[in-house]
A and B are shown apart, each in its own frame.
Chain A
Amino acid sequence: MLEPVTLLWLLLVAALIFLIAAPLLKMLLISFEEQETGDFTLMNYATAYGRQRYLDALRNSLLLGLLSATISTIIAVPMAWAVSRTDMPGKGFTWAMVLAAFVMPPYLGAIGWILLAGPNAGWINQVWRAVTGAQDPLMNVYTFSGMAFVIALHSFPLVFIFVKSALDLISSEMEDAANIMGAGTWTTMRKVTLPLVWPSILGGFILIFLETIALFGTPAIIGIPARVNVVTTQLWQFFEDPVRVEVAAAYAIPLLLITICLIGVQKLLLSRKGFVSQTGKGGERRQIKLGPWRWVLFAWCFGVALLAVVKPLLVLLQASFAKAWGRGLSLDNLTFRNYRMLLFEHDMALQSVWNTIWFSAASASLALILALLVAYIVVRKLFRFADGLAFLAMAPFVIPGIVLAIGFYAAYAGPPLMLYGSALLIILAFSARFLPIAYANAQASIRALHPEMEEAARILGSGRLQTIRRITAPLLKTSLLGGWLIVFIVASRELSAAIFLVGPRTRTMSVLLYDLSEQGNFELVSAFGGILLVITMVFVGIGMKLVGRDFMLRRD
Chain B
Amino acid sequence: MMMIDRRGMLALGAWAAATSKAFAQGPMPEHERVLYEAAKREGEITWYSGQYSAEASEAAGRAFNERYPGVRCNVVRSTSQVAFQRLSQDLRAGVAQCDILSSTNGGHYVQLKRQNRLMQFRPKNADGLLPILRVADPDNFYQSSVLGIYLLAHNTRLVSEADAPKSWKDVLDPKWKDKLAVGHPGFSGAIGLWAMEMRRLYGWDYFKQLELNKPQIGRSSIDPVTTMNAGERGVGVAVPSASTLFSISRGNPLKLIYPEEGVVAALSPSAIIRNAPHPNAAKLFMEFQTGVGLSTAVRLLFNESIRPDVPPPDGSRPLDQVKMLAPSIEDAEKGVPEVRDAWRETFGI
Contact residues of A with B, CB < 8 Å?
53, 114-115, 118-122, 142, 220-221, 224-225, 227-229, 236-237, 239-243, 323-327, 333, 341, 345-348, 406, 409-410, 413-415, 418, 420-421, 499-500, 502-504, 512, 515, 518-524
Contacts and interface: CB of A to CB of B under 8 A. Distances in A.
B6 A239 contact: no
Please list the 6 inter-chain residue pairs (A to B) with the smallest Cβ-Cβ separation, ordered nearest first.
A414-B93, A324-B251, A519-B6, A121-B231, A326-B229, A520-B222
A519 B89 contact: no
Contacts of A53: 344
Contact of A227 (B220, B222, B250, B349): B349
Contacts of A415: 93-95
Given A225-B218, A326-B155, A520-B225, A240 B9 contact: no
A127 to B, nearest CB: 14
B230 A521 contact: no
Given A500-B85, A503-B76, A519-B9, 18 more contacts: A114-B230, A114-B232, A119-B232, A121-B231, A224-B187, A324-B252, A325-B252, A326-B228, A346-B9, A406-B85, A414-B95, A415-B93, A415-B95, A421-B76, A504-B74, A504-B76, A515-B6, A519-B53
Contacts of A500: 82, 85
Question: Counting chain B CB atoms within 10 Å of each CB, which of A119, A240, A341, A347 scores highest?
Answer: A240
B58 A347 contact: yes
Interface string B241-279: 001001100111110000000000000000000000000
B111 interface: yes
Contacts of B97: 420
Contacts of B344: 53
B217 to A, nearest CB: 6
A406 B246 CA distance: 34
B13 interface: yes
A240 B340 contact: yes
A120 B231 contact: yes
Given A327-B251, A520-B243, A120 B233 contact: yes
Given A500-B82, A520-B247, A324 B229 contact: yes
Question: Counting chain A CB atoms within 10 Å of each CB, which of B13, B58, B187 scores highest?
Answer: B187
A523 B246 CA distance: 12
A241 B108 contact: yes
Contact of A240 (B1, B93, B246): B1
Contacts of A240: 1, 81, 186, 337, 340
Contacts of A327: 251-253
Interface string B199-236: 00000000000000000111110110110111111000
Contacts of A503: 76
A347 B55 contact: yes
Interface string B21-64: 00000000000000000000000000000000111001000000
A346 B187 CA distance: 27
Contacts of B231: 120-121, 326
Interface residues of B, number: 69
Nearest to B216: A225
A324 B156 CA distance: 14
B154 interface: no
A241 B81 CA distance: 8
Contacts of B74: 504
B347 to A, nearest CB: 7
A348 B54 contact: yes
B8 interface: yes
Given A347-B58, A518-B220, A519-B7, A243 B186 contact: no
Interface in B79-113: 81-82, 84-86, 88-90, 92-95, 97, 105, 107-108, 111
A414 B229 contact: no
A229 B178 CA distance: 21
A262 B82 CA distance: 32
A529 to B, nearest CB: 15
B348 interface: yes
10 contacts: A120-B233, A225-B217, A324-B253, A326-B230, A418-B95, A500-B85, A503-B76, A519-B9, A520-B223, A520-B225
B2 interface: yes
A426 to B, nearest CB: 14
B77 interface: yes
A118 B90 contact: no
A53 B344 CA distance: 9
B77 A519 contact: no
B185 to A, nearest CB: 9
B184 interface: yes
Nearest to A332: B251
Contacts of A115: 230
B75 interface: yes
A122 B82 CA distance: 34
A53 B345 CA distance: 9
A500 B79 CA distance: 9
Given A326-B229, A503-B76, A348 B84 contact: no
Given A114-B230, A227-B347, A227-B348, A414 B90 contact: yes
Contact of B89 (A120, A333, A413): A413
Interface in B141-188: 155, 157, 178, 184, 186-187
Nearest to B61: A504
Nearest to A221: B219
B148 to A, nearest CB: 13
Contacts of A406: 85
A142 B215 CA distance: 12
